[in-house]
């Protein structure tokens, strides 16, 4: 396939590397002036991923859309602008979204935003566990592809699968998108526990976190058991425990009063989840506690201690 990957950060550059390795013709797009693209142009590496010469580096959107498939990996909160730019170029092909988040303000899933601007395109999401550092070291994992049509999912699973990543067919676009976004908030909560020396409470966090996310998925029209699949519970090891998890590391740094200079999508997602919690009438105590800590200046120890010391009977 002829594929353009939009977004040359850690995950986007890995996707370009992976799809090239799988035999596709790949171009990697980064905006003009992007420090990530500048680094790749100078050395072909960002210190984690080294791009072969077969991957074209481009910075013109009009060139990026001359392809049969666009894979997008940008910050979730900036995706609307990217979708508008793609649509402005007259693109009518399919789109694969490789990021996890919900838009602040609107509470919209990323596939909904894509269809606003590209209503005639097929839209798929590529979700699930795994870190770039592990993949480039040859450590395999399983991920999921869901989308707006069975034909699109089948084509992508067939074309993208390899010995490094085994893809499963998603059956619940709502549940998979919401679950994938929400697991980043659980990751921040896990990091806060780490920062307070309460790592032992991660078991309760995982059990209760999955339940409250499952309730939201059902209220939004999705399938409850999606929260227990690769998009959410299946991604906990990579998010709740891994040293490579930005969301966990952000939560730990926050609890310790330290600065964290990398993107942690869960920070923005928890705001959107509070909007959805109110809209659908779903109580989300863990997400609410994280939101109070991050946005209202609540004491992390007070919030999480109160949260986990209350009876679990109401949650199950």
- Please write the tens of the pLDDT for every residue from 49-82: 999 999 999 999 999 999 999 999 999 999 999 9
CA dihedral (46, 49, 53, 56) in degrees, to 10, reads -70
Provide the 3-class DSSP secondary structure of residue 24: coil
CA dihedral (184, 5, 62, 85) in degrees, to 10, reads -10
Residue-level pLDDT at 307: 85
What whole-number distance in Å separates Cα of residue 181 and Cα of residue 168? 18
Q: What is the pTM of this model?
A: 0.93
- Please write the tens of the pLDDT for every residue from 268-301: 999 999 999 999 999 999 999 999 999 999 999 8
Per run of 10 residues, the mean pLDDT along the chain (length 316 residues) is: 96 98 97 94 96 98 97 96 97 96 96 98 96 95 97 97 96 98 97 94 94 98 97 94 94 93 90 97 96 95 82 50
What positions carry a catalytic annotation? 183
Helices (H), 220-265: 236, 246-255
What whole-number distance in Å separates Cα of residue 1 and Cα of residue 196? 48
């Amino acid at each position: 396939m002829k594929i353009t990957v939009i977004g040359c950060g850690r995950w986007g550059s890995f996707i370009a590397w992976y799809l090239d390795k799988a035999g596709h013709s790949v171009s990697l797009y980064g905006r003009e002036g992007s420090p990530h693209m500048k680094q790749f142009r100078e050395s072909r590496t960002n210190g984690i991923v080294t791009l072969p010469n077969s991957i074209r580096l481009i910075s013109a959107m009009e060139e990026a859309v001359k392809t049969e498939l666009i894979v997008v990996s940008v910050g979730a909160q900036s995706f609307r602008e990217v979708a508008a730019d793609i649509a402005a170029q007259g693109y009518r092909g399919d789109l694969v979204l490789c990021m996890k988040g919900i838009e602040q303000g609107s509470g919209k899933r990323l596939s909904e935003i894509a269809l606003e601007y590209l209503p005639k395109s097929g839209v798929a999401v590529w979700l699930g566990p795994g870190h770039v550092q592990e993949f480039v070291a040859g450590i395999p994992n399983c991920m999921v592809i869901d989308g707006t049509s069975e034909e699109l999912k089948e084509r992508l699973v067939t074309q993208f699968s390899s010995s490094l990543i085994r893809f499963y067919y998603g059956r619940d676009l709502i549940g998979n998108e919401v679950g994938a976004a929400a697991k980043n908030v659980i990751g921040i909560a896990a990091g806060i526990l780490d920062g307070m020396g309460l790592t032992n409470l991660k078991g309760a966090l995982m059990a209760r976190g999955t339940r409250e996310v499952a309730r939201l998925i059902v209220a939004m029209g999705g399938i409850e058991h999606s929260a227990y699949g690769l998009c959410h519970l299946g991604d906990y090891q990579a998010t709740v425990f891994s040293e490579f998890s930005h969301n966990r590391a952000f939560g730990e740094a926050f609890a310790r009063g330290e600065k964290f200079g990398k993107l942690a999508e869960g920070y923005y997602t928890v705001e959107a989840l509070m909007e959805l919690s109110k809209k659908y009438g779903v109580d989300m105590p863990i997400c609410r506690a994280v939101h109070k800590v991050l946005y209202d200046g609540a004491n992390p120890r007070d919030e999480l201690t109160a949260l986990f010391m209350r009876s679990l009977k109401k949650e199950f």
